[in-house]
């Protein structure tokens, strides 16, 4: 049995979620091949060859793979999947965009957001914003999965020694073209890989007040997240959103400030190890999942907390 893991990378380095997908593949059991497709992505392919447990790296280089367009990558993945038992990708916006297209081309179902492997054909995934866990069995010849990074530890990035095989690019479909991107630049850790996250909600009241969250995060070396309400209100960009349809996180410590705790938000963070909630409304649902709840005015509590961390 050979499995294909589709790597998410920036042409130089692998994204951490790729390493979780490798671990999921290892749980299924069998040989693991990693597909690295991009433009001048030799460095990423070499990085994939170092990952512990990887047997083969399939490296495809072409200009039309540079921006990971689904229309271009899907035919290549289908080609690379020939003879494979499973095709896996991280359940990030990269994998969520491309993999259903691959599954439909293969005429198989996709199993989204896998959090546990029960057997080579049976997987556990959350439904209803994580309020239920479904165990599903695939009857398809090829299993197409997206893997939720919070469910699997990252495979060690070193220690492997895979062979790199060059894959002939598929022709460009020309259906879509990359125009540009506006990426959030930050010195802080990446939200989905951070050990500590401080998230702010509607209670902050403004983009200006949200800087308090930044200050607290910087004090803790934490990443900054937000509830949907804070993103919709324009306090922070969309990529800060933690929740059912945003990012799924499970850090060691999650501090929710001014977040009421709608089920959609809880879906994105309730697997965190320790949850702290600071909210002036003692009845807020966030307190139901919090290990430590502080009923207080955040405008007093947060500066106090920043000061207390200095001591």
**Residues of this chain, 165-194, that bind another protein according to CB under 8 A:** 174-184, 192
Kindly list the distances between the CA atom of residue 125 and the CA atoms of 25, 38, 40, in Å, as whole numbers in the listed order. Answer: 15, 30, 35
Residues 33-72 that bind another protein (CB under 8 A): 67, 69-71
Binders in 240-279 for another protein, by CB under 8 A: 241, 244-245, 247, 252-253, 263-264, 270, 273-276
The only residue of 62, 64, 113, 145 in contact with another protein, by rule CB under 8 A:
113
Question: Minimal distance in Å, beta carbon 80 to another protein?
Answer: 16
119 makes contact with another protein (CB under 8 A): no
281 secondary structure, DSSP code: -
Query: What is the residue whose two structure tokens read 């979620």?
Result: 17
User: What Å distances lie between residue 145 and 28, 230, 286, 306, CA to CA?
Assistant: 11, 31, 31, 42
Give 82 or 183: the residue with its C-beta nearer to another protein. 183
**Distance separating alpha carbons of residues 297 and 285, to the nearest angstrom:** 16
Residues 272-311 touching another protein, rule: CB under 8 A, are 273-276, 282, 287, 289-296, 301, 304-305, 308-309
**Residue 88 near residue 103, CB atoms below 8 Å:** no
Q: How many residues bind another protein (CB under 8 A)?
A: 89
Give the x/- contact pattern for another protein in 131-150, rule: CB under 8 A. Answer: xxxxxxxxxx----------
CA 35 to chain centre: 18
Residue number with CB closer to another protein (52 or 227) = 227
- Candidate list 35, 74, 87, 204; residue touching another protein; CB under 8 A: 74
- Using the Cα atoms of residue 66, residue 245, residue 184 and residue 309 in order, give the sign of their dihedral: negative
**Three-state DSSP class for residue 271:** coil
């Amino acid at each position: 049995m050979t499995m294909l893991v589709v790597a998410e990378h920036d042409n130089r380095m692998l994204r951490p979620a790729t390493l979780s997908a490798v671990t999921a593949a290892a749980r299924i059991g069998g040989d693991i091949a990693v597909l690295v497709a991009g433009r001048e992505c030799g460095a990423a392919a070499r990085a994939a060859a170092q990952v512990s447990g990887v047997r083969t790296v399939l490296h495809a280089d072409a200009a039309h793979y540079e921006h990971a367009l689904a229309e271009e990558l899907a035919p290549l993945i289908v080609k690379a999947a020939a003879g494979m038992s499973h095709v896996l990708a991280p359940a990030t916006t990269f994998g969520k965009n491309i993999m259903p297209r691959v599954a439909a081309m293969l005429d198989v179902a996709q199993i989204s957001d896998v959090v546990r492997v029960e057997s080579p054909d049976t997987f556990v995934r959350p439904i209803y914003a994580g309020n239920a866990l479904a165990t599903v069995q695939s009857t398809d010849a090829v299993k197409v999965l997206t893997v939720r990074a919070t469910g699997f530890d990252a495979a060690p990035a070193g220690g492997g020694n895979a062979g790199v095989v060059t894959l002939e690019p598929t022709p460009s479909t020309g259906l879509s073209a990359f125009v540009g991107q506006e990426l959030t630049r930050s010195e802080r850790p990446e939200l989905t890989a951070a050990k500590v996250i401080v998230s702010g909600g509607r209670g902050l009241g403004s983009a200006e007040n949200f800087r308090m969250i930044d200050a607290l995060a910087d004090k803790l070396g934490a990443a900054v997240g937000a509830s949907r309400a804070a993103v919709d209100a324009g306090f922070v960009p969309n990529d800060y959103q933690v929740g059912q349809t945003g990012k799924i996180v499970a850090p060691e410590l999650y501090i929710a400030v001014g977040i009421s705790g709608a089920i959609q938000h809880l879906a994105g963070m309730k697997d965190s190890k320790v949850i702290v909630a600071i909210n002036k409304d003692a009845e807020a649902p966030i307190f139901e999942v919090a290990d430590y709840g502080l009923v207080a005015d955040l405008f007093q509590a947060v500066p106090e907390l920043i000061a207390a961390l200095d001591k």
